[in-house]
Structure 1
Amino acid sequence: MWLNEYEQQLRRDLQGVASDLRWSAVELLRIAEQLRQAGNDVDAEATLRLCALFQGDEERLAGYAEEVKAKSITRTKVH
Protein backbone atom coordinates (compact mmCIF):
# COMPACT_ATOMS: atom_id res chain seq x y z
CA MET A 1 0.00 0.00 0.00
CA TRP A 2 1.44 3.37 -1.03
CA LEU A 3 1.90 6.23 1.42
CA ASN A 4 0.76 9.67 0.41
CA GLU A 5 3.15 12.63 0.52
CA TYR A 6 2.16 13.64 4.06
CA GLU A 7 2.43 10.12 5.42
CA GLN A 8 5.86 9.73 3.83
CA GLN A 9 6.99 12.97 5.46
CA LEU A 10 5.60 11.86 8.83
CA ARG A 11 7.45 8.55 8.56
CA ARG A 12 10.70 10.29 7.58
CA ASP A 13 10.32 12.74 10.47
CA LEU A 14 9.71 9.94 12.97
CA GLN A 15 12.67 7.94 11.66
CA GLY A 16 14.89 11.03 11.73
CA VAL A 17 14.08 11.89 15.32
CA ALA A 18 14.50 8.24 16.33
CA SER A 19 17.91 8.24 14.68
CA ASP A 20 18.88 11.45 16.49
CA LEU A 21 17.87 9.89 19.81
CA ARG A 22 19.90 6.75 19.03
CA TRP A 23 22.99 8.85 18.22
CA SER A 24 22.45 10.94 21.37
CA ALA A 25 22.19 7.82 23.52
CA VAL A 26 25.49 6.53 22.11
CA GLU A 27 27.15 9.87 22.91
CA LEU A 28 25.66 9.84 26.41
CA LEU A 29 27.10 6.38 27.02
CA ARG A 30 30.53 7.71 26.03
CA ILE A 31 30.14 10.70 28.34
CA ALA A 32 28.95 8.50 31.21
CA GLU A 33 32.06 6.36 30.86
CA GLN A 34 34.28 9.45 30.95
CA LEU A 35 32.47 10.71 34.04
CA ARG A 36 32.88 7.34 35.74
CA GLN A 37 36.60 7.26 34.91
CA ALA A 38 36.92 10.75 36.38
CA GLY A 39 35.35 9.50 39.62
CA ASN A 40 32.05 11.29 39.09
CA ASP A 41 29.73 8.35 39.63
CA VAL A 42 26.70 10.49 40.53
CA ASP A 43 26.71 12.35 37.22
CA ALA A 44 27.59 9.15 35.35
CA GLU A 45 24.47 7.47 36.75
CA ALA A 46 22.31 10.50 35.88
CA THR A 47 23.68 10.41 32.35
CA LEU A 48 22.93 6.68 32.07
CA ARG A 49 19.33 7.35 33.15
CA LEU A 50 19.02 9.94 30.37
CA CYS A 51 20.49 7.43 27.95
CA ALA A 52 17.89 4.84 28.93
CA LEU A 53 15.13 7.42 28.51
CA PHE A 54 16.38 8.32 25.01
CA GLN A 55 16.61 4.65 24.05
CA GLY A 56 13.01 4.06 25.10
CA ASP A 57 11.83 7.12 23.19
CA GLU A 58 13.81 6.02 20.12
CA GLU A 59 12.13 2.61 20.17
CA ARG A 60 8.69 4.18 20.55
CA LEU A 61 9.23 6.57 17.63
CA ALA A 62 10.60 3.77 15.43
CA GLY A 63 7.43 1.83 16.25
CA TYR A 64 5.28 4.80 15.26
CA ALA A 65 7.17 5.01 11.95
CA GLU A 66 6.31 1.36 11.31
CA GLU A 67 2.66 2.06 12.14
CA VAL A 68 2.67 4.86 9.57
CA LYS A 69 4.15 2.44 7.02
CA ALA A 70 1.38 -0.06 7.82
CA LYS A 71 -1.18 2.77 7.47
CA SER A 72 -2.21 2.47 11.13
CA ILE A 73 -1.39 6.16 11.53
CA THR A 74 -2.00 8.63 8.73
CA ARG A 75 -1.54 12.31 8.09
CA THR A 76 -3.56 14.43 5.72
CA LYS A 77 -3.03 17.94 4.43
CA VAL A 78 -4.04 20.56 6.96
CA HIS A 79 -5.81 23.54 5.43
Structure 2
Amino acid sequence: MHLTKPNQELHQTLEAAADEIEAAVQDLFRKAKAYDEPEFLTAMERISRIHDHVDVLRTYAKQVMDGLIVKVGLSDIGIISTTEPQKESR
Protein backbone atom coordinates (compact mmCIF):
# COMPACT_ATOMS: atom_id res chain seq x y z
CA MET A 1 0.00 0.00 0.00
CA HIS A 2 1.28 3.46 -0.89
CA LEU A 3 1.56 5.76 2.10
CA THR A 4 1.10 9.49 2.10
CA LYS A 5 4.09 11.51 3.26
CA PRO A 6 2.53 12.19 6.72
CA ASN A 7 1.86 8.46 7.16
CA GLN A 8 5.39 7.57 6.01
CA GLU A 9 6.71 9.98 8.61
CA LEU A 10 4.41 8.51 11.27
CA HIS A 11 5.62 5.00 10.45
CA GLN A 12 9.27 6.09 10.55
CA THR A 13 8.75 7.94 13.83
CA LEU A 14 7.13 4.91 15.48
CA GLU A 15 9.92 2.60 14.27
CA ALA A 16 12.64 5.05 15.36
CA ALA A 17 11.06 5.41 18.80
CA ALA A 18 10.93 1.62 19.19
CA ASP A 19 14.59 1.32 18.09
CA GLU A 20 15.76 3.98 20.54
CA ILE A 21 13.82 2.45 23.42
CA GLU A 22 15.25 -0.98 22.63
CA ALA A 23 18.79 0.44 22.62
CA ALA A 24 18.13 2.07 26.01
CA VAL A 25 16.79 -1.23 27.35
CA GLN A 26 19.96 -2.99 26.22
CA ASP A 27 22.01 -0.41 28.13
CA LEU A 28 19.83 -0.91 31.19
CA PHE A 29 20.25 -4.69 30.96
CA ARG A 30 24.05 -4.42 30.72
CA LYS A 31 24.07 -2.27 33.85
CA ALA A 32 21.52 -4.44 35.66
CA LYS A 33 23.74 -7.52 35.34
CA ALA A 34 26.00 -5.93 37.97
CA TYR A 35 23.15 -5.42 40.44
CA ASP A 36 22.43 -7.64 43.42
CA GLU A 37 19.60 -10.09 42.83
CA PRO A 38 16.67 -8.02 44.22
CA GLU A 39 17.64 -4.96 42.19
CA PHE A 40 18.34 -7.13 39.14
CA LEU A 41 14.89 -8.72 39.35
CA THR A 42 13.26 -5.31 39.69
CA ALA A 43 15.18 -4.08 36.63
CA MET A 44 14.16 -7.17 34.66
CA GLU A 45 10.49 -6.57 35.49
CA ARG A 46 10.85 -3.02 34.20
CA ILE A 47 12.65 -4.22 31.08
CA SER A 48 9.82 -6.66 30.43
CA ARG A 49 7.21 -3.88 30.70
CA ILE A 50 9.25 -1.66 28.39
CA HIS A 51 9.50 -4.47 25.82
CA ASP A 52 5.71 -4.71 25.91
CA HIS A 53 5.51 -1.02 25.03
CA VAL A 54 8.04 -1.48 22.22
CA ASP A 55 5.88 -4.28 20.83
CA VAL A 56 2.88 -1.92 20.85
CA LEU A 57 4.87 0.75 18.98
CA ARG A 58 5.95 -1.80 16.35
CA THR A 59 2.35 -3.02 16.02
CA TYR A 60 1.18 0.55 15.45
CA ALA A 61 3.94 1.04 12.85
CA LYS A 62 2.79 -2.09 11.02
CA GLN A 63 -0.82 -0.92 11.17
CA VAL A 64 0.24 2.38 9.61
CA MET A 65 1.96 0.43 6.81
CA ASP A 66 -1.17 -1.67 6.33
CA GLY A 67 -3.37 1.44 6.17
CA LEU A 68 -5.25 0.58 9.37
CA ILE A 69 -3.94 3.70 11.13
CA VAL A 70 -3.69 6.98 9.25
CA LYS A 71 -2.49 10.39 10.29
CA VAL A 72 -5.30 12.90 10.04
CA GLY A 73 -4.87 16.62 10.45
CA LEU A 74 -7.46 18.89 11.97
CA SER A 75 -8.19 20.35 8.54
CA ASP A 76 -8.97 16.83 7.27
CA ILE A 77 -11.87 16.51 9.70
CA GLY A 78 -13.19 20.03 9.27
CA ILE A 79 -11.97 21.54 12.53
CA ILE A 80 -9.52 23.93 10.87
CA SER A 81 -10.38 25.55 7.58
CA THR A 82 -7.81 25.33 4.81
CA THR A 83 -9.41 28.13 2.86
CA GLU A 84 -9.33 31.84 3.47
CA PRO A 85 -12.27 33.09 5.51
CA GLN A 86 -14.94 34.85 3.52
CA LYS A 87 -15.06 38.61 3.96
CA GLU A 88 -18.41 40.02 4.87
CA SER A 89 -19.93 42.19 2.18
CA ARG A 90 -21.47 45.42 3.36
TM-score for both structures, normalised by structure 2? 0.75
The residue aligned with 1:32 is 32
The runs of 5 or more residues in structure 1 that have no matched partner are none
Aligned to 1:2: 2
Q: Of the two structures, which has the highest relative contact order with CA contacts closer than 8 Å and spacing of 6 or more?
A: 1
Is the CA contact 1:28–1:48 (under 8 Å) kept in the aligned structure 2? Answer: no
After superposition, the CA RMSD in angstroms is: 1.2
Partner of 1:15: 15
Larger radius of gyration between Structure 1 and Structure 2:
2
Post-superposition, which runs of at least 4 consecutive aligned residues in structure 1 deviate over 6 A?
none
Cα separation, 1, equivalents of 2:51 and 2:64: 20
TM-score by length of 1: 0.84
